[in-house]
Amino acid sequence: MEKRGFIRILLLFVLLFCISSCSITSCKKNPEDDKVRSVLLYISANNNLHRYAEESIQDLKKGYVPQSRDKNNILLVFYHVPGKSPALFRYSCNKEGEVLCETICIYEQEMNSSQISSFSRVLADAERSYPATERGLILWSHATGWLPEGYYSDPKDHTEARYSQQIEDPYRFLVKSPTEEPLQKSFGSDNNSEMEITELATVLPHNYEFILFDCCLMGGIEVAYEFKDKCEYMLFSPTEILADGFPYEKMFDPIFNGKNREEALKQVCSDYFDIYDAQTGIYRSATVTMVRCNALEELAGVCASIYRNNQDSILTMDSFPLQIYFRYNKHWYYDFEDIVSRIATPEQYEEFKAALDRAIAYKAATDIFLNINIERYSGLSTYLPRARYAILNDFYKTLKWNKATGYVK
What's the mean pLDDT in 347-362? 98
Q: Report if residue 288 sits inside a domain.
A: yes
CATH of the domain at 56: 3.40.50.11970
- pLDDT in the model for residue 376: 98
- pLDDT in the model for residue 20: 47
Model pLDDT for residues 295-329, shown as the tens digit of each residue: 999 999 999 999 999 999 999 999 999 999 998 88
Q: Report if residue 112 sits inside a domain.
A: yes
Q: How confident is the model at residue 178 (pLDDT cuts 50, 70, 90)?
A: very low
Among 172-176, 184-188, 275-279, the minimum mean pLDDT is found in: 184-188
- pLDDT in the model for residue 193: 63
Model pLDDT for residues 120-153, shown as the tens digit of each residue: 999 999 999 999 999 999 999 888 899 988 888 7
pLDDT > 60? residue 163: no
pLDDT > 70? residue 71: yes
Q: Report if residue 318 sits inside a domain.
A: no
Q: Report if residue 221 sits inside a domain.
A: yes
pLDDT > 60? residue 15: no
Q: Report if residue 256 sits inside a domain.
A: yes
189-192 contacts: CB < 8 A, separation 24 or more?
189/44, 189/46, 189/47, 189/114, 189/141, 189/142, 190/44, 190/46, 190/47, 190/80, 190/112, 190/113, 190/114, 190/115, 191/46, 191/112, 191/114, 192/150
Give me the domain span that covers residue 41.
Answer: 33-158+167-294+362-369
What percentage of the chain carries pLDDT values higher than 90? 73
Q: How many domains does the chain have?
A: 1
What's the mean pLDDT in 182-195? 53
Q: Report if residue 128 sits inside a domain.
A: yes
What's the mean pLDDT in 219-225? 98
Q: Report if residue 305 sits inside a domain.
A: no
Q: Report if residue 152 sits inside a domain.
A: yes
3-state class (DSSP) for residue 101: strand
- pLDDT in the model for residue 245: 95
